Amino acid sequence: MRNPQQWHPATVRAHRDLSPTVREFELRPEGGVLPWTVGSHLNVQVQIDGCVETRSYSLVGLPGDDDTAYRIAVKRVAASRGGSRHMWSLEAGAELLIGEPANQFELPLNAPQYLLVAGGIGVTPVVGMARLLSRRGADVRMRYAARSAAELALRDELHEALGTRLRTYTSAAGQRIAFADEIAALHPQAVLLACGPLPMLEAVRAAWAGSARPAANLRFETFGNSGAAANEPFWVRLPRHGIELQVPPERTLLDVLNEHGIDTLYDCRRGECGLCALDVIETHGRIDHRDVFFSPREKQEGHRLCACVSRVSGGGLVLDSAYRPD
């Protein structure tokens, strides 16, 4: 459960492809654009197999770029749960419901130096940070990785803001960001902000921990849908409720629990806040932790998991919920 979302009618004003798999949408809200800050995201209602679900997309650019519409970018993922497929089906004039801007990826403005890191679609909240910091004359550099040069969405906008302070990397060319070296070259009180797939964020976190720098100076956000294994169905048993449920590949554990009346606290839906964490009683198979909330040691122990993103390969779970019978 979470606080009720305020929904507002909006219209797709236009869209354009930023790469072969990334499409940018201009959403014009009926009541006008609300104030927001770089790093903010927007919740959007999507239709998936006749059901209404919510997806979160980062706002692109800077507040004030356009006072009449929000910009978001959506990556088309073949193995997604359906949100990107719905968004890519929308044409100009389509109507939808959107939430109000919220920020869980705040940019501090008092650091002596900044390193921005983006992987793939993770560039969307970072491009506004790059532009704002450059405009303020901050000491900032950025490292941006994607599968191929064609997938470096928003590269021109970033290059205009940063020039040679931007470096790009593509896995197709065998290039990797040397996080330990990049971090070692930073000011002792520098801030690193990263957004990208889970493996990238885990590498950033490991390099940052190895540098003995302040933990608070590393900030990150993930889209919370990548894991070590492909999605497969698994079962979950809840002894306190006396039920066993099936979680299909296209649904999350959190979705299934809430659909069956097992109210579970949640907020981010990306494995970042830890609010939806549940205790694991037994594991049959292997937990595929896809969060950035638990430490590597906690993931290895497997005593808890984030219901919004974590899955199981080759079996299921016995979980302890917060429910207590009268």
208-245 pLDDT tens trace: 999 999 999 999 988 655 667 778 899 999 998 899 99
pLDDT average, residue stretch 280-291: 92
Q: Which of 1-10, 106-115, 187-196 has the lowest average pLDDT?
A: 1-10
- Same domain, yes or no: 286 and 211: no
Q: What is the pLDDT of residue 1?
A: 45
Average pLDDT, the chain: 91
- Bridge partners (DSSP) listed for residue 316: 235, 284
**Count of domains in the chain?**
3
pLDDT band per the 50, 70, 90 thresholds, residue 118:
very high
> Residue 294: pLDDT above 90?
no
Flag whether 1 is in a domain. no
- The domain spanning residue 277 has which CATH number? 3.10.20.30
Query: In 8-86, which ranges are E strands?
Result: 8-17, 22-29, 40-48, 51-58, 70-75
pLDDT average, residue stretch 251-263: 88
Written as six digits, the tokens of 60 are: 């692109």
pLDDT band per the 50, 70, 90 thresholds, residue 96:
very high
What whole-number percentage of the chain has pLDDT above 90? 71
For 245, the enclosing helix (H) or strand (E) is strand 243-247
pLDDT average, residue stretch 247-276: 86
> Residue 95: pLDDT above 50?
yes
Give the separation between CA 119 and CA 296, rounded to whole angstroms. Answer: 21
The closest alpha carbon to 161, from 182, 136, 186, 178, belongs to: 136
If one compares 326 and 284, the residue with the highest pLDDT of the two is: 284
Flag whether 83 is in a domain. yes
What whole-number percentage of the chain has pLDDT above 70? 94
Flag whether 109 is in a domain. no
If one compares 98 and 259, the residue with the highest pLDDT of the two is: 98
- Same domain, yes or no: 213 and 122: yes
- Same domain, yes or no: 207 and 256: no
Give the separation between CA 276 and CA 246, rounded to whole angstroms. Answer: 18
Flag whether 178 is in a domain. yes
- The domain spanning residue 215 has which CATH number? 3.40.50.80
- Same domain, yes or no: 121 and 218: yes
Q: What is the pLDDT of residue 230?
A: 78
Q: Which domain holds residue 99?
A: 8-103
pLDDT band per the 50, 70, 90 thresholds, residue 80:
low
Cβ atoms of 189 and 214 within 8 Å: the answer is yes
> Residue 258: pLDDT above 60?
yes
Tens-digit pLDDT profile for residues 29-77: 998 999 999 999 999 999 877 778 888 899 999 999 999 999 999 999 8
